[in-house]
Structure 1
C-alpha cells in the first residue's frame, strides 16, 4: 500500500518498499556514556592519534539526532554537519566510520531515513530537510518535465539539461529498446551517487547482519531500476550534472559521468553480492520461490554489468593517456582529469593493465601524488588550486576512501595503506595546528582547504577513526566469517585496541615490543572468532573461544 507524500504540491507517492514504517529506535547515547563502550585504540608512539580519535567521536555524537515527529523519519541518525539537510552522499561515508561503533551510534540506521522517503517509482532523494522531512525544494521536478538539472540551468553551464530544452529526445533513443515515458519526480541534481549498496556492504563486513540486508534489498533494487530507467543514455552510460563536485571544471562538459557510470556498475555488482547472501539464507530456510526470483534478477544484473563495463571502456577510457574521462552529450571525452576516474577501480571496470596505468597517476607528483594525496583535480590542470579551491584540487575524505577501497580491490594494499595513513597524519597535523577538523584539505600544503567548513564530523571522521583503526593499527573485520585480521605496525610502539567490536563480538588486543625485538601479543574475545596476526613477514592464525586469553610471541 502506498501513502501520499507530504509535499506542498503532492508530487508522487511514497513507496512501501522499506519495512520499517514508523519511528523506532533505542535512546541516543551521549558521548560521555559512549566513551566507555567504544573501541579504545592503543598506539604508544602516536598519542596525537588517540587525542584526535576521541575528539572526532565527541563531535560525531554532538551531531546525532532523534527525528522530529513531523519529519516522518523512522530512525535516529548522524547528521552531515553541513546545513539543515541530511545528504545521501555525506551519510554514506559517515556510516563507514560509525560501523566501528555500530552498537552505540546510529550509523547505518541513518540511511533508513532515505529509504523511507523513496518514491513509488524507486527514486530516492539525495537531500532531505532535517526537521520537516521534506525533499529539498530546489531539487524537486515540480512541473514533471523531462529529466533536467537545476544546477546546470541556474549556473548557465549548457542547455543540455535545461528544463526548457528536454534532453530525452537526444539522449534516450528508441533503438536502446526502451522509451522513457514517465518523467522523474526529482531533478538530475537529486539523482546522483547511487552508493547505498556500497554502504550496506561496508556495514555488513563489520556486523554480519543478514536481517539488515533482507530489509534493504527491495529498496535498493527498486532504486537501481529507477536510475537505469531515467539516467541511462544512448551510449549505455549514465548522465549526471555535477555529482556533488560543485565547482569542478568537469561540470562544463557533462554529459555522462565516469563516476555515476562506474557507480551503477558497482551498484549492480553489490546487488548481486547481496542477493548471493540472501539466496544462501533463503535456501536454508526452504524459501524456493524467493530463491528463484533472486536468481532471475542475478541474470539481469550480470548482463547489466557487462553492458555498462563495455560502454565505459568504449567511450571513457583513453588508451593513449591511460585514464578515464567524463563524456559530453555528443560522446566526446572531456579534457579534465579528476579523481572521479578512480571509481573504475572500486567498481571493477578496469582490467589489470588499465588499473596499473591508473595507479601510475596516483604515483605521479605532477598530477595526483601531491603533499596530501589525493587531490580531486589533477595538479596539471589549469584550474587546479594549490590551497584546495573546494573541488578544484582539495582533498576530501569520501573520495580518498573510494580510491583506497579501489586500490584494495586490485591488490594494491601497500599503496592503499600509504594513502590512508598519510591522510590520517595530515588531518591530525592540521587538527594540532588549528584545533579543528575540516570539510576538506589542501593538497599542496598541510593545511585545511581554503573553502572548507570547520568541525566537520561529517565524513572527515573517516581519517581519525576508520583510517586509524583499520589502516594504522591494522584491524580488518570479516563478520560474516567471524574473522579478524590484525596487521601490526611496529612503528606505533605498543599498539592494539580494547573493546574492538565486530559481528556481535568484543575483542581486546595488545601488542607490546620486547627488548629482544620480538612482540608479545595478547588477545581475548567474548565469543568464538578466528584471529590472524601479521607482523612483518610472520603470521599466526588462532581460533579463539569465548573468554580465552591467547598469548603469543612474534
Structure 2
C-alpha cells in the first residue's frame, strides 16, 4: 500500500479537536498532555513500510497488533498528523507482502526479545495472533476520513483484511511467520478457538482456571475456547461487510454478513449462560462454562452478536459494584473474584486497562446504553485525571490500580510499577472517552456527512468541541443554556439525542427543545 507522508515536526496542535467542558475544565490539561505524549511516540524509522508510525511505548524491537489498532482509535481525530491507521501497514506488508522489517540498534529491549542493547536487531511483530482488530480499526477510521480510495485498495486490490481473517481461520496448528517474534497459539477448532493469555492480550488473566482460584500465573487452559477470539472474528466479518458497503460492493458485503451470522449463531448457542445472563469462555470438549467475569465478555456485544434483551441481562448481572461496576468500572477482573488483587491490580487481575474498558464502553454505546456508557467513561476519566494530578511523575500509565489514583503493578516477581508515558492505548481515556462519551460525540460518518451527539441530560455551563474534523467537515459545536451555536465548513446532519438537525455551512444558532 502507498506510504503516507507525515512530518514529525509539523504543527499538530492546530489539527486536534478542542473539547469544551465547563463542568470540569481541568480535564483539558490531561487531554492536551496526552496528545503531547502521543506525539512523542511518533517514530520515523527508515525501512519501515510506514514511517513515521505510531510507536506503542514499549520497546524498540517489537511492534504489537492490538496496541496499534487501539492507538488508531484516537489518532483518527487528527489523521493528517498522527498516522494511526497507516501504522497498520507495518503489519499488513510484512505478514502478506515482503515478510521482513528493518534492523535497528536496540536501545530498549527486554531480555525475552533476544536483542542485545547497542547491537543491530531486526524489528519483529511481537505476536502475529494478537487480537484480530484490523477491520474494526479500519472501519472506525474510515467513518472519520471518508477515504474510499483507501478502502478499495485495502479490500479489492490488496485484500489484507480478508487474508488476515482467512489465515486465522486456517490456523489449526503452530505457525511462525518470518516477520513474527513468537510462534502462534491460536488454533481453530470446530465451535471455537484455542489461544493463550499473552496472545489474547490479557497476559495473566485467570480465565480458564479449574479451581476456585488460579494456581498458576497464567492458567492457559489447553481445553478452553476463548470467547474473545470467536467474537473478534465475528467483529472482523461484520466490519469487512460494512466497509464493503461503504464502497458500494454489495455482493462482497453480503458474503461477509453471512459469515458474521454464522458466528452469531455459534456464540449464542454455546457461549451464552442463560442462568447468569452472561457470555463466558467454554470448555472445548464438554461445553461447560469457565465463569470468570472480565470485560472480555463484552466482545460479543461490540460485535453485534447479542440481542438487546441479552445486553440488559448482562448489565444487571455484571455492572454491579461487586463485579464490573462501582466507583471505578470495567476493571480487568470482577471485584468479587478470588483472584482479584485489590492492592495494585497485579496487571490483568484487577487493574484498569483502557483497551478493554474502552471496548466495553463502545459495546454499551452500540446498544443505546448511552447514560451507562457515559457514567463508566466519566469514572474512568476521573481516575486517570486524579492519577495524573496526584501521582508523580504526572503522566499517563500503561494500566491503573483499582482502588487508588496510581499506576498498577505488573505480575512479575519484582511487582514493578507499570510503564509511564503510555500513549499507547491509554490515550483512549483522556482523548476518545472524553470526546465520545463524556461530551458525547459518539459517532461520525464522513460518507453520509452525519454526526451523532448524545448530549448529557444535565449540563453545567458550556459543552461541546471546536476544530472537530470528519471527512471534509470542520466544525465547532457548543451548547450553552439550551442554545446550540455551530460553525461549519460544510453542511452536515447532526443527530442530537435522536433528533436530526441540519447544520448549514457557516454559522448558526439553534434553540434546543427541552426534553
Please identify which structure carries the higher helix content. Answer: 1
**Residues 1:427 and 2:368 are matched in the alignment:** no
Q: Structure 2 length as normaliser, TM-score? A: 0.81
Query: Alignment partner for residue 76 of structure 1, among 52, 56, 64?
Result: 52
CA shift, 1:520, in A, is 3.5
- What is the CA–CA distance in structure 1 between the aligned matches of 2:325 and 2:301, rounded to whole Å? 17
The Cα offsets for residues 238-281 of structure 1, whole Å up to 9 and x where unpaired, read as 22112111111124325321001100111111111112222x2x
**Residues 1:42 and 2:20 are matched in the alignment:** yes
**Aligned 1:79-118 pairs, distance under 5 A:** 79-84=55-60, 85-118=62-95
- What is the CA–CA distance in structure 1 between the aligned matches of 2:96 and 2:495, rounded to whole Å? 45
Contact 1:393 1:442 in 2 (8 A): yes
CA shift, 1:329, in A, is 4.3
- What is the CA–CA distance in structure 2 between the aligned matches of 1:265 and 1:137, rounded to whole Å? 36
Pair 1:234–1:57, CA change in 2 (3 A) = closer
Pair 1:82–1:43, CA change in 2 (3 A) = same
CA shift, 1:99, in A, is 0.8
SS of 1:47 mapped into structure 2? coil
CA shift, 1:201, in A, is 0.8
Residue in 1 that maps onto 2:403: 444
Pair 1:412–1:130, CA change in 2 (3 A) = farther
Contact 2:91 2:125 in 1 (8 A): no
Residue in 2 that maps onto 1:480: 447
CA shift, 1:495, in A, is 2.5
Contact 1:39 1:497 in 2 (8 A): yes
Pair 1:118–1:353, CA change in 2 (3 A) = same
Residue in 2 that maps onto 1:149: none
Residue in 1 that maps onto 2:312: 356
The Cα offsets for residues 208-232 of structure 1, whole Å up to 9 and x where unpaired, read as 1112211222100111111111156
Pair 1:552–1:322, CA change in 2 (3 A) = closer
Contact 2:192 2:230 in 1 (8 A): yes
- What is the CA–CA distance in structure 2 between the aligned matches of 1:379 and 1:129, rounded to whole Å? 44
CA shift, 1:187, in A, is 11
Residue in 2 that maps onto 1:216: 154
- What is the CA–CA distance in structure 1 between the aligned matches of 2:350 and 2:233, rounded to whole Å? 25
**Aligned 1:386-425 pairs, distance under 5 A:** 386=342, 387-425=344-382
Residue in 1 that maps onto 2:485: 522
Pair 1:301–1:366, CA change in 2 (3 A) = same
**Residues 1:338 and 2:294 are matched in the alignment:** yes
Pair 1:439–1:300, CA change in 2 (3 A) = same
Contact 2:7 2:81 in 1 (8 A): no
**Residues 1:457 and 2:457 are matched in the alignment:** no
Contact 1:469 1:475 in 2 (8 A): yes
CA shift, 1:396, in A, is 0.9
CA shift, 1:137, in A, is 12
Residue in 2 that maps onto 1:502: 470
The Cα offsets for residues 116-135 of structure 1, whole Å up to 9 and x where unpaired, read as 11236x9x99xx788489xx
- What is the CA–CA distance in structure 2 between the aligned matches of 1:303 and 1:533, rounded to whole Å? 32
- What is the CA–CA distance in structure 2 between the aligned matches of 1:188 and 1:265, rounded to whole Å? 23
Residue in 2 that maps onto 1:161: none
SS of 1:249 mapped into structure 2? coil
- What is the CA–CA distance in structure 2 between the aligned matches of 1:45 and 1:302, rounded to whole Å? 43
The Cα offsets for residues 32-63 of structure 1, whole Å up to 9 and x where unpaired, read as x2123321222223121111110000101011
Residue in 1 that maps onto 2:120: none
- What is the CA–CA distance in structure 2 between the aligned matches of 1:374 and 1:493, rounded to whole Å? 29
Contact 1:29 1:104 in 2 (8 A): no
Question: How many residues end up aligned between the 2 structures?
Answer: 455
Query: Alignment partner for residue 225 of structure 1, among 145, 166, 174?
Result: 166
Pair 1:315–1:510, CA change in 2 (3 A) = closer
SS of 2:132 mapped into structure 1? coil
Contact 2:234 2:264 in 1 (8 A): yes
Contact 2:294 2:324 in 1 (8 A): no
Q: For structure 2, list consecutive stretches of 5 or more residues without a partner in the other structure.
A: 115-123, 173-186, 208-218, 411-417
**Aligned 1:8-19 pairs, distance under 5 A:** 19=1
SS of 1:109 mapped into structure 2? helix
The Cα offsets for residues 44-87 of structure 1, whole Å up to 9 and x where unpaired, read as 23121111110000101011012223x4x234211111222221
- What is the CA–CA distance in structure 2 between the aligned matches of 1:262 and 1:533, rounded to whole Å? 31
Aligned-pair RMSD on alpha carbons?
A: 2.9
**Aligned 1:131-530 pairs, distance under 5 A:** 131=104, 189-217=127-155, 218-231=159-172, 233-242=188-197, 243-250=200-207, 251-254=219-222, 255-278=224-247, 280=248, 295=251, 297-298=252-253, 300-331=255-286, 332-386=288-342, 387-434=344-391, 435-451=394-410, 452-476=418-442, 477-489=444-456, 490-512=458-480, 518-530=481-493
